[in-house]
Amino acid sequence: MYMNHPVMTEKVVSNRNQRIAMWLIEQFEIRQGYGLAYYLKMPICNDNYSAVCLWVQYHSLLQPKQFYTLGELRQGFAKLLPIEKYWR
């Protein structure tokens, strides 16, 4: 399922953060489609993959940091997911 092409332009989400977002998408088996942006508190016009990318980008720029490791980021992401609606 891992995608090699960027979901968003690098001007919006860095390549590094896109790779992290794709890792989260793969970890949680996020489905394509819409609706996840609402739970991630991202603009709801974004599809699920773009919403994850924007969420990762937002948290990478947030000061003070809420998550310091990928493990913490993964746990924070998991807490926002509605139970099995968009994943697995």
* 39 in a structural domain: yes
Nearest to 47 by CA among 33, 66, 64, 61: 33
Using 70 as the pLDDT threshold, list the residues of the chain that sit under it. Answer: 1-11, 84-88
* 36 in a structural domain: yes
* 2 in a structural domain: no
Establish whether the linkage from the previous residue to 6 is cis, with ω within 30° of 0: no
* Alpha-carbon distance values, 7 to 10, 24, 49 (Å): 9, 14, 7
Percentage of the residues of the chain whose pLDDT score is greater than 90: 76
* 8 in a structural domain: no
* 73 in a structural domain: yes
Bridge partners of 87, per DSSP, are: 30
Number of domains in the chain: 1
34 is in which domain, residue-wise?
15-80
Tell me the pLDDT tens digit for each residue of 20-43: 999 999 999 999 999 999 999 999
* 5 in a structural domain: no
Percentage of the residues of the chain whose pLDDT score is greater than 70: 82
For the full predicted model, state whether its pTM sits above 0.75. Answer: yes
